[in-house]
Amino acid sequence: MSQNSALVPALDKQPHHRLHPVLAAFAGSEPRHLPAPLISRLQPHEILFYQGDAANHIFEVVEGVIRLYRLLPDGRRAIAGFLYPGGLIGLSSNHRYACTAEAITAARIRRHTRSQIEAAARRHPELSGWLLQHMRDELAAVMNHLLLLGRKNAQERVASFLIAVAQKKTACGRPLSVDLPMSRADIGDYLGLTLETVSRVLAKLKAARLIALPAPHQVLLLQYDALRELAGEDDDEPAAETLTAQNKPWTH
């Protein structure tokens, strides 16, 4: 509950760009026509904005965990991502927010108007680049998630999830302790499973001694590498690039 790296839509792996109050810093360097960015507090089930709302603001999670989700007309829910402190919300939105943002835990959120950000970005190219990088990271994370949702089975999904959550906690010694502030239903809606299936898979991983569950919201990764194997992601594959460097179509 006290990690502070971004866990953007599909759980970023690289913990680069840890700067907490980045936007605030840039906003602060502007002439102070505007009040300093507002920090608002959210109660556990409070909504920050709804899908379809005009996307006039960009939010920065200061504390707590936020879920982003979309709903089908009949109520089925898909969680697009969990946001941890340092995470940015709404950056990649168009005119309207694509998801609903709701607090899972009590949270503190820094709010910036889009125009503020854009003005600051014009003045500070490094901020502009940083925001772009953030969007690219978000997209890369979502690509991973498409593979997970499209082609992985329940075990692989849960294992991938645990690995991803663990990779935010910058490599303490294993066995790794991870806590999951969200409910089983949240995890299910994130992984495209039912809450029962999530529970069952966790039980199975526990029976296989790959994890331990001291409490429902705390997981110990006992065999990290076995979990990675199960997750089936070649996260940091070395350069398979020199091999394929020839025979590029455009070298014709």
Partner DNA sequence: CGAACCGTTGAAAGCATTCAACCTCGGTGG
Partner DNA sequence: CCACCGAGGTTGAATGCTTTCAACGGTTCG
Q: Which residues contribute to the site for its own copies (CB under 8 A)?
A: 38, 40-42, 46-50, 52-54, 57, 70, 72-74, 76-78, 80, 92-94, 96, 98-99, 109, 111, 132-133, 135-140, 142-147, 149-152, 189-192, 232, 234, 237, 239-241, 244-245, 248-250, 252
CB of 121 to DNA, least distance (A): 39
CB of 46 to DNA, least distance (A): 14
Q: How far apart are CA 32 and CA 40, in angstroms?
A: 20
CB of 214 to its own copies, least distance (A): 29
182 to 201: interface string for DNA, x by CB under 7 A: -xxx--x---xxxxxxxxx-
- CA atoms lying within 13 Å on the CB side of residue 132: 8
CB of 168 to DNA, least distance (A): 19
Q: How far apart are CA 181 and CA 244, in angstroms?
A: 42
Task: Tell me how far CA of residue 229 lies from CA of 129, 149, 205, 232, in angstroms.
Answer: 35, 17, 13, 5
Of 27-35, 64-72, 213-221, 237-245, the window that binds DNA (rule: CB under 7 A) is 213-221
The residue with tokens 């609903």 is 100
Tokens of residue 246, six digits: 């020839």
CB of 140 to DNA, least distance (A): 25
Tokens of residue 35, six digits: 């009040």
Q: How far apart are CA 126 and CA 91, in angstroms?
A: 16
The partner in contact with residue 72, picked from DNA, its own copies, none with C-beta cut-offs of 5 to 8 angstroms by kind, is its own copies
Q: How far apart are CA 162 and CA 146, in angstroms?
A: 17
List residues near DNA by CB under 7 A. Answer: 153-155, 183-185, 188, 192-200, 202-203, 213, 216-217
